[in-house]
Amino acid sequence: LKHLWIERPERSVRTGFAVNRLDRLSERRDDGAFIDELRCSEGARSLVFAGEVPVLKRRGDAFEPLFTFAEVDGLGIAAEQVFLGHDSTRPFFATLLETQTPEPAQGHRDIVMIDLRSVAMQGLVTPDVLGAFGQAKSLLYWHSRHRFCSNCGAPNRMVAAGWRRVCDVCEAQHFPRTDPVVIMLVVSGNDCLLGRQPGFPAGMYSCLAGFVEAGETCEDAVRREVFEEAGIATGRIAYVASQPWPFPASLMIGCFAEALARELSIDTRELDDARWFSQDEVRLMLARAHPAGVVTPPKLAIAHLLLQEWIAGEIGLNPPR
């Protein structure tokens, strides 16, 4: 597993949910006997979800996210169980309970449910486990919403240790989805463009973002979204970093985009506000010291990384064509 433990030089690892050193052993997923053997091995552990919410063991002020399968059985019936990978010491699985509210066996009053955003924001688990939680959440969510064949409508079933569903009626195979989203810091000289979506916490401004559509490159999606939301044409685009975002199953693709204009035309159905911020302002926002109380997204978010890199002068836009 040496390739999984090399020092990762890329910026992506500085975002939440991006560190995941599990060897997914994807070539062994169809070997049911092998997966069963891993599951029955002494070191095997499982993350546990009730609905979309992680289940944790409280240990004083700390939280333990890994359950033995005996402990999992004590929490309720498993609706789905998937294999996440092997960390070179033990295999990791994830369990989705049938119940939304686990009823821990007697003597397990230390069981708590904490939503994954809070687990991430409060740093309740190590970065490695947070990455595995993100992987598990996206995959289990997909299973919970894809119990019927999208081709013929018959009930289908999970195979390949959780990485495929098959329909026994029409033989269609269905694969877990990941939805690409571009998120971009639009820059114009010493200024950058940030906006506010209606659901944002008070005072928070972030990069513009949107789903990549069929038939689009990332660059085209950036240009379309920035023009739709803010009326700004963009020229050069540079990839910066990416981040798995398990709400429910996105891959955030972080870019810089060079603005070709300054005058904003804001789509008020998408954004409450958008405006240009100077580098000095962004420094204050990152430090939570802006006099108007405006702030950047938290460190866990890729928008935070994009702003940090811009402040550090790491723009790296492609040379002009």
Residues that bind Zn ion (CB under 5 A): 149, 151-152, 154, 167, 169-170, 172
Q: Least Å distance between CB 35 and Zn ion?
A: 24
DSSP 229: H
Nearer Cβ to Zn ion (169/233): 169
Q: Least Å distance between CB 150 and Zn ion?
A: 8
Q: Least Å distance between CB 248 and Zn ion?
A: 23
Q: Least Å distance between CB 173 and Zn ion?
A: 10
- Angle (nearest 5°) at CA 246 between 147 and 105: 70
Nearer Cβ to Zn ion (169/289): 169
Residue 136: closest CA among 13, 49, 51: 49
Q: Least Å distance between CB 149 and Zn ion?
A: 3
Contact in structure between 124 and 53 (CB atoms under 8 Å): no
Residue 61, judged by CB atoms within 10 A of its CB (0-12, 13-18, 19+), counts as: exposed
Nearer Cβ to Zn ion (130/167): 167
Q: Least Å distance between CB 151 and Zn ion?
A: 5
Q: Least Å distance between CB 283 and Zn ion?
A: 55
Up-side HSE of residue 8: CA atoms within 13 Å toward CB?
Answer: 14
Nearer Cβ to Zn ion (152/287): 152
Contact in structure between 163 and 140 (CB atoms under 8 Å): no
Count CB-CB contacts under 10 A for residue 57: 17
Nearer Cβ to Zn ion (169/287): 169
Count CB-CB contacts under 10 A for residue 145: 11
Residue 247: closest CA among 64, 53, 89, 79: 53
Please name the amino acid found at residue 265: S
Length of the chain in terms of residues written: 321
Nearer Cβ to Zn ion (151/308): 151
What are the two backbone dihedrals, phi and then psi, of residue 15, each rounded to the nearest 5 degrees?
-100, 160
Residue 83, judged by CB atoms within 10 A of its CB (0-12, 13-18, 19+), counts as: buried
Nearer Cβ to Zn ion (77/154): 154
